[in-house]
Amino acid sequence: MTTQVIVLNGGSSSGKSGIARCLQQVLPDPWLSLSVDTFVDALPRALKSSDAGIDFGTDGEVVVGPEFRELEAAWIEGVAAMARAGARIVVDEVFLGGAASQERWRKALTGLGVLWVGVRCEGAVAAGREIARGDRVPGMAAAQADLVHQGVRYDVEVDSTRVESIECARTIATRVADPR
Protein backbone atom coordinates (compact mmCIF):
# COMPACT_ATOMS: atom_id res chain seq x y z
CA MET A 1 0.00 0.00 0.00
CA THR A 2 1.24 3.49 -0.83
CA THR A 3 2.25 5.53 2.20
CA GLN A 4 -0.15 8.41 2.80
CA VAL A 5 0.77 9.23 6.40
CA ILE A 6 4.13 9.14 8.16
CA VAL A 7 3.78 9.24 11.93
CA LEU A 8 6.95 10.36 13.70
CA ASN A 9 6.85 9.55 17.41
CA GLY A 10 9.53 10.72 19.79
CA GLY A 11 10.07 12.71 22.93
CA SER A 12 10.37 16.45 23.15
CA SER A 13 13.50 17.80 21.42
CA SER A 14 14.26 14.44 19.80
CA GLY A 15 14.48 15.99 16.33
CA LYS A 16 11.05 15.17 14.91
CA SER A 17 10.32 18.65 13.55
CA GLY A 18 13.67 18.85 11.77
CA ILE A 19 13.16 15.39 10.30
CA ALA A 20 9.66 16.39 9.14
CA ARG A 21 11.07 19.48 7.36
CA CYS A 22 13.77 17.34 5.73
CA LEU A 23 11.18 14.78 4.63
CA GLN A 24 9.32 17.56 2.84
CA GLN A 25 12.54 18.23 0.91
CA VAL A 26 13.55 14.66 0.07
CA LEU A 27 10.19 13.06 -0.72
CA PRO A 28 9.19 13.44 -4.38
CA ASP A 29 5.62 14.65 -3.75
CA PRO A 30 4.33 17.50 -1.57
CA TRP A 31 3.71 16.48 2.05
CA LEU A 32 2.01 18.51 4.77
CA SER A 33 3.71 18.57 8.16
CA LEU A 34 1.43 18.71 11.20
CA SER A 35 2.60 18.45 14.78
CA VAL A 36 1.22 18.01 18.25
CA ASP A 37 2.60 21.51 18.88
CA THR A 38 0.24 22.84 16.18
CA PHE A 39 -2.66 21.23 18.04
CA VAL A 40 -1.55 22.49 21.47
CA ASP A 41 -1.00 26.01 20.09
CA ALA A 42 -4.57 25.95 18.72
CA LEU A 43 -6.09 25.16 22.13
CA PRO A 44 -7.96 27.94 23.90
CA ARG A 45 -5.91 29.65 26.59
CA ALA A 46 -8.30 28.31 29.26
CA LEU A 47 -7.22 24.72 28.47
CA LYS A 48 -3.52 25.49 28.85
CA SER A 49 -2.31 24.89 32.40
CA SER A 50 -5.66 23.33 33.26
CA ASP A 51 -6.73 20.02 34.80
CA ALA A 52 -9.30 19.67 32.02
CA GLY A 53 -6.82 20.56 29.28
CA ILE A 54 -3.06 20.24 29.40
CA ASP A 55 -0.70 21.05 32.22
CA PHE A 56 3.09 21.21 32.03
CA GLY A 57 4.63 20.41 35.40
CA THR A 58 7.79 22.12 36.62
CA ASP A 59 9.60 18.78 36.42
CA GLY A 60 8.76 18.27 32.73
CA GLU A 61 5.73 16.06 33.36
CA VAL A 62 2.81 16.61 30.98
CA VAL A 63 -0.70 15.80 32.21
CA VAL A 64 -3.76 15.94 29.97
CA GLY A 65 -7.39 16.06 30.97
CA PRO A 66 -10.75 15.04 29.47
CA GLU A 67 -11.36 18.19 27.41
CA PHE A 68 -7.88 17.85 25.90
CA ARG A 69 -8.62 14.22 24.97
CA GLU A 70 -11.93 15.21 23.38
CA LEU A 71 -10.33 17.86 21.20
CA GLU A 72 -7.34 15.60 20.48
CA ALA A 73 -9.73 12.93 19.14
CA ALA A 74 -11.26 15.50 16.78
CA TRP A 75 -7.76 16.65 15.72
CA ILE A 76 -6.68 13.08 14.94
CA GLU A 77 -9.87 12.40 12.95
CA GLY A 78 -9.33 15.67 11.07
CA VAL A 79 -5.78 14.69 10.11
CA ALA A 80 -7.09 11.30 8.94
CA ALA A 81 -9.82 13.03 6.89
CA MET A 82 -7.21 15.18 5.15
CA ALA A 83 -5.25 12.04 4.24
CA ARG A 84 -8.41 10.37 2.97
CA ALA A 85 -9.04 13.47 0.84
CA GLY A 86 -5.66 12.98 -0.82
CA ALA A 87 -3.15 14.93 1.25
CA ARG A 88 0.11 13.21 2.14
CA ILE A 89 0.88 14.04 5.77
CA VAL A 90 3.84 13.84 8.12
CA VAL A 91 2.61 13.80 11.72
CA ASP A 92 5.08 14.95 14.40
CA GLU A 93 3.71 13.39 17.60
CA VAL A 94 4.62 12.60 21.21
CA PHE A 95 2.94 9.40 22.43
CA LEU A 96 2.77 10.28 26.12
CA GLY A 97 0.55 7.21 26.61
CA GLY A 98 2.85 4.90 24.65
CA ALA A 99 0.88 2.09 23.00
CA ALA A 100 -2.49 3.62 23.97
CA SER A 101 -1.57 6.82 22.11
CA GLN A 102 -0.55 4.84 19.06
CA GLU A 103 -3.84 2.94 19.17
CA ARG A 104 -5.85 6.19 19.05
CA TRP A 105 -3.99 7.14 15.85
CA ARG A 106 -4.14 3.60 14.44
CA LYS A 107 -7.96 3.54 14.77
CA ALA A 108 -8.38 6.89 13.03
CA LEU A 109 -5.95 5.98 10.23
CA THR A 110 -7.52 2.58 9.48
CA GLY A 111 -7.49 1.89 5.74
CA LEU A 112 -4.72 4.40 5.02
CA GLY A 113 -1.12 3.60 4.17
CA VAL A 114 0.75 4.54 7.36
CA LEU A 115 4.46 4.37 8.12
CA TRP A 116 5.11 4.32 11.88
CA VAL A 117 8.49 5.85 12.70
CA GLY A 118 10.21 5.87 16.07
CA VAL A 119 12.48 8.88 16.54
CA ARG A 120 14.89 8.09 19.33
CA CYS A 121 17.39 10.39 20.98
CA GLU A 122 19.41 9.87 24.14
CA GLY A 123 17.84 11.77 27.02
CA ALA A 124 20.97 13.81 27.78
CA VAL A 125 21.29 14.97 24.17
CA ALA A 126 17.57 15.82 23.96
CA ALA A 127 17.89 17.73 27.26
CA GLY A 128 20.74 19.78 25.78
CA ARG A 129 18.61 20.61 22.75
CA GLU A 130 15.75 21.52 25.09
CA ILE A 131 17.94 24.08 26.87
CA ALA A 132 19.18 25.49 23.56
CA ARG A 133 15.61 25.87 22.27
CA GLY A 134 14.48 27.73 25.36
CA ASP A 135 10.79 27.15 24.62
CA ARG A 136 10.24 23.94 26.61
CA VAL A 137 9.79 23.14 30.28
CA PRO A 138 13.16 21.91 31.58
CA GLY A 139 13.06 18.18 32.18
CA MET A 140 10.46 17.37 29.53
CA ALA A 141 12.99 15.92 27.05
CA ALA A 142 14.63 13.62 29.59
CA ALA A 143 11.26 12.52 30.99
CA GLN A 144 9.90 11.64 27.55
CA ALA A 145 12.98 10.13 25.87
CA ASP A 146 12.03 6.52 26.67
CA LEU A 147 8.46 6.91 27.96
CA VAL A 148 6.94 7.69 24.55
CA HIS A 149 8.27 4.47 23.01
CA GLN A 150 6.90 2.05 25.63
CA GLY A 151 4.81 -0.61 23.90
CA VAL A 152 4.84 1.21 20.55
CA ARG A 153 5.46 -0.78 17.37
CA TYR A 154 7.31 0.80 14.46
CA ASP A 155 7.96 0.07 10.81
CA VAL A 156 11.27 1.92 11.00
CA GLU A 157 13.30 3.63 13.71
CA VAL A 158 15.88 6.39 13.50
CA ASP A 159 18.18 7.73 16.19
CA SER A 160 18.90 11.44 15.99
CA THR A 161 21.39 11.39 18.86
CA ARG A 162 24.37 11.55 16.52
CA VAL A 163 22.73 11.50 13.08
CA GLU A 164 21.56 14.66 11.32
CA SER A 165 17.89 15.16 10.50
CA ILE A 166 18.53 14.89 6.75
CA GLU A 167 20.06 11.42 7.14
CA CYS A 168 17.13 10.30 9.30
CA ALA A 169 14.76 11.66 6.64
CA ARG A 170 16.60 9.78 3.88
CA THR A 171 16.26 6.54 5.85
CA ILE A 172 12.53 7.13 6.21
CA ALA A 173 12.14 8.19 2.55
CA THR A 174 13.80 4.95 1.45
CA ARG A 175 11.14 3.04 3.38
CA VAL A 176 8.37 5.16 1.85
CA ALA A 177 9.70 4.33 -1.63
CA ASP A 178 9.92 0.60 -0.75
CA PRO A 179 7.15 -0.22 1.75
CA ARG A 180 7.96 -3.99 1.65
What pLDDT score does 42 carry?
Answer: 95
> Is 37 annotated in the active site?
yes
Note the pLDDT tens digit of each residue in 156-173. Answer: 999 999 999 999 999 999
CB distance 34 to 92 below 8 Å: yes
**Any bridge partners for residue 93, and if so which?**
9
CB distance 119 to 40 below 8 Å: no
Q: List C-alpha distances in Å: 84 to 56, 87, 113, 169.
A: 33, 7, 10, 23
Set 37, 55, 155, 159: catalytic member? 37
Output the pTM of the full model.
Answer: 0.94
Reported confidence tier of residue 178, pLDDT bands at 50, 70, 90: confident
DSSP result, 127-159: HHHHHHH-SS-TTHHHHHHHHTTTT---SEEEE
Note the pLDDT tens digit of each residue in 12-64. Answer: 999 999 999 999 999 999 999 999 999 999 999 999 888 899 998 888 889 99
What is the C-alpha radius of gyration for the chain, rounded to an integer number of angstroms? 16
